[in-house]
């Protein structure tokens, strides 16, 4: 059984620093990291004003940066598939930057728009390396945005306190929506900036309230297995934006500010059957998040597993964002001893999260590989969801 290694933070920080120095001929002013995330439960509710319960992954993006004096932004990734990008800070604008660089440049642009990056008119060299799988629903994009954000603040000598972290979350959401064309709901950036090691982060998007929930999985002999189906999803291709628009329409019809706060009785009054199903998911998922926190705190693992299963069924049948690979992953995991399993993240491919006793890990991994091979699919990638720290200095 092969588990995707998050790498040693010290070694990765050193490596990105060395790549930076070889590239620019000078050492970096800042070396930082920001994590990917896996959402335990609370899917497609952030943009509907509801609660989510994600954790940061040990897999992270590392960035090294130094200010320049000629107004130029230069971006490099050590991923051979990602092209370097160079342009003027003053020319950054939506639509001006293609590919991966739209996220990194987008963050610089959004921080400028917020007044956070006033000291950056002179420009920046920045390079990144990452152990967060891309296109896997594990928020490699939020990890990149937040790594850039923290690198910039560190170059500018700004103290990374909670209010600044909140501003970086907002800039990340803006960069991802306006520069990269992916209308994210904010969960990914929030957990990347605010997570702490050993904890899940309950965030209520009605009012932004955050509560930390200690993870007791390890002590109970349980693991969170993350299964990357390797079916690539992208949030810029319409499905995500369509769900967002449809649920906004449901909220408008019901006359509520946050769809997640609607009652089942209100949802039942929606005349359009599809809107009723979408809104039904949002409202029932909201209840499941609160029940999941109670199950976690009461160490009711069977109950928590059932909530994960119910979440998956709702995302598959009512929200219609699952796919054959995710459905099979959950079925196989449950048939081989898992307590619960669900798709995680935006869907349409990406990853599933499986709650299971540690002793079942090898059996579930082998069964998944066999099931994927049977269908002629590439073997899935496996990661362990051990709650890691949010973005910061290396
Ligand atoms: C993506 C978005 C998040 C959230 C999830 C679904 O990851 O970026 O804001 O909406 O999908 O829960």
Same domain? For 243 and 171 the reply is: no
pLDDT band at 122 (very low <50, low <70, confident <90, very high): very high
Reported as a pLDDT band with limits 50, 70 and 90, residue 234 is low
State the pLDDT at residue 236: 54
Q: Which of 37, 40, 46 gets mutated to test ligand 1 (max ligand atoms within 8 A of its CB)?
A: 46
Report the pocket of ligand 1 as residue ranges, CB < 6 Å.
Answer: 39, 43-44, 46-47, 184-188, 345-346
> Residue 393's closest CA among 1, 13, 78?
13
Q: What spacing in Å lies between the alpha carbon of 342 and ligand 1's midpoint?
A: 15
Q: Which residue, 196, 212, 228, sits at the end of a domain? A: 212
In a domain, 2, yes or no: no
Provide mean pLDDT across the span 238-244. Answer: 92
The arithmetic mean of pLDDT across residues 179-201, rounded, is 95
Pick from 44-53, 140-149, 229-238: least confident: 229-238
Domain boundary among 212, 234, 260: 212
Same domain flag for 168 and 225: no
Residue 166: give its domain's CATH number: 3.30.230.10
Which atom of ligand 1 lies at the shortest distance from residue 142's CA?
8
Q: Are residues 173 and 74 in the same domain?
A: yes
Per-residue pLDDT, averaged over 65-91, amounts to 96
Nearest CA to ligand 1 atom 11: 346
Q: Whose CA is nearest to atom 8 of ligand 1?
A: 184
Same domain, 186 and 248: no
Looking at every residue in the chain, the average pLDDT score rounds to: 96
Residue 266 inside a domain? The answer is: yes
Residues 49, 137 share a domain: yes
Q: Which ligand 1 atom is nearest residue 44's CA?
A: 12
Percentage of the chain modeled with pLDDT above 90: 94
pLDDT of residue 227: 98
The kind and range of the H/E element at 205 are none
* Ligand 1 atom at minimum distance from 346 CA: 11
CB atoms within 10 A of CB 242: 10
Q: Which of 185, 212, 239 is the last residue of a domain?
A: 212
d(CA 163, CA 64): 23
Atom 2 of ligand 1, residue of closest alpha carbon: 184
- Statement to judge: residues 169 and 297 lie in one domain: no
- Whether 389 is covered by a domain: the verdict is no
Do 200 and 223 belong together in one domain? Answer: no
Strand (E) positions, the chain?
Answer: 30-39, 51-52, 54-67, 72-77, 85-88, 123-130, 199-204, 209-214, 222-228, 340-344, 351-357, 381-384, 392-393
Q: How confident is the model at residue 233 (pLDDT cuts 50, 70, 90)?
A: low
Residue 394 lies in a domain: no
> How far, in Å, from the CA of 42 to the mean position of ligand 1?
10
Identify whether 281 is part of a domain.
yes
391 assigned to some structural domain: no
What is the rounded distance in angstroms from the CA atom of residue 334 to the CA atom of residue 364? 8
pLDDT tens for each residue of 202-217: 999 999 999 999 999 9
From 44, 246, 260, 278, the mutation candidate for ligand 1 (largest count of ligand atoms within 8 A of CB) is 44
Tell me the per-residue pLDDT of 376-394, one tens digit each, with 9 for 90 and over. Answer: 999 999 999 999 999 999 9
| pTM of the entire predicted model | 0.97
Let me know whether 78 and 162 are in one domain.
yes
Residue range 305-322: average pLDDT?
Answer: 98
Q: State the distance from the centre of ligand 1 to the C-alpha of 228, rounded, in angstroms.
A: 16
Residues carrying an active site annotation: 188
Q: Whose CA is nearest to atom 9 of ligand 1?
A: 185
CATH at residue 234: 3.30.70.890
Please state the atom number of ligand 1 nearest to the C-alpha of residue 47: 10
pLDDT of 235 strictly over 80: no
Residue 57 belongs to domain spanning: 9-212
Nearest CA to ligand 1 atom 1: 346
- Whether 204 and 258 share a structural domain: no
Number of domains in the chain: 2
Query: What's the N-to-C CA distance of the chain in angstroms?
Result: 30
Using alpha carbons, list the distances in angstroms from residue 55 to 15, 103, 164, 352.
26, 22, 20, 14
Query: Are residues 259 and 166 both part of a single domain?
Result: no
Q: Is the pLDDT of residue 93 over 70?
A: yes
Q: Determine, yes or no, domain membership for 390.
A: no
DSSP assignments along 132-192, one per residue: SPTTSSS-HHHHHHHHHHHHHHHHTT----HHHHHHHHHHHHHIIIIIS-----SHHHHHH
Are 231 and 128 in a shared domain?
no
pLDDT value of position 181: 86
pLDDT tens, residue by residue, 275-302 = 999 999 999 999 999 999 999 999 999 9
Strand ranges in 151-300 using DSSP code E only, listed in sequence order:
199-204, 209-214, 222-228
Task: Give domain status of residue 143, yes or no.
Answer: yes
pLDDT above 70 (res 160): yes
pLDDT attached to residue 119: 83
pLDDT value of position 71: 97
Distance of CA 43 from the midpoint of ligand 1 (Å): 7
Helix axes of 162-174 and 187-194: crossing angle, nearest 10 degrees: 150
- Atom index in ligand 1 nearest the CA of residue 244 equals 10
27/172 same-domain check: yes
């Amino acid at each position: 059984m092969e588990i995707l290694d998050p790498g040693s933070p010290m070694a990765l920080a050193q490596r990105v620093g060395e790549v930076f120095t070889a590239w620019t001929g000078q050492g970096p002013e800042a070396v930082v990291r920001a994590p990917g995330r896996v959402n335990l439960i609370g899917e497609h509710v952030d943009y509907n004003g509801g609660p989510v319960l994600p954790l940061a992954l040990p897999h992270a993006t590392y960035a090294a940066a130094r200010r320049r004096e000629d107004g130029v932004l230069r971006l490099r990734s050590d991923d051979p598939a990602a092209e370097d990008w160079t342009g003027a800070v003053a020319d950054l604008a939506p639509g001006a930057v293609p590919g991966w660089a739209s996220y990194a440049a987008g963050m610089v642009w959004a921080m400028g728009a917020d007044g956070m990056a006033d000291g950056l008119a002179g420009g920046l060299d920045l390079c990144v390396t990452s152990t967060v799988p891309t296109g896997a629903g594990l928020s490699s994009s939020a990890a990149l945005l937040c790594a850039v954000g923290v690198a910039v603040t560190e170059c500018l000598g700004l103290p990374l306190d909670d209010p600044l972290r909140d501003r970086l979350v907002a800039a990340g959401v803006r960069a991802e929506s306006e520069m990269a064309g992916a209308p994210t709901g904010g969960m990914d950036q929030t957990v990347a900036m605010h997570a702490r090691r050993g904890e899940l982060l309950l965030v209520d998007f009605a009012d932004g309230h955050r509560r930390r929930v200690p993870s007791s999985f390890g002590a109970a002999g349980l693991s969170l297995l993350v299964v990357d189906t390797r079916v690539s999803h992208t949030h810029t291709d319409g499905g995500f934006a369509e769900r967002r628009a449809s649920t906004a329409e449901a909220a408008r019809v019901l006359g509520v500010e946050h769809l997640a706060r609607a009652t089942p009785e209100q949802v039942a009054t929606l005349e359009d059957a599809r809107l009723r199903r979408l809104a039904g998911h949002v409202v029932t998922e909201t209840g499941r998040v609160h029940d999941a926190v109670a199950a976690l705190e009461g160490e009711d693992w069977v109950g928590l597993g059932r909530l994960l299963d119910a979440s998956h069924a709702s995302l598959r049948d009512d929200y219609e964002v699952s796919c054959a690979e995710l459905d099979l992953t959950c079925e196989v995991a449950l048939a081989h001893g898992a307590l619960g399993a669900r798709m995680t993240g935006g869907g349409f491919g990406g990853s599933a999260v499986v709650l299971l006793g540690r002793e079942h890990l090898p059996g579930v991994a082998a069964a998944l590989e066999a099931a994927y091979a049977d269908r002629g699919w590439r073997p899935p990638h496996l990661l362990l969801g051990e709650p890691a720290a949010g973005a910061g200095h290396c």
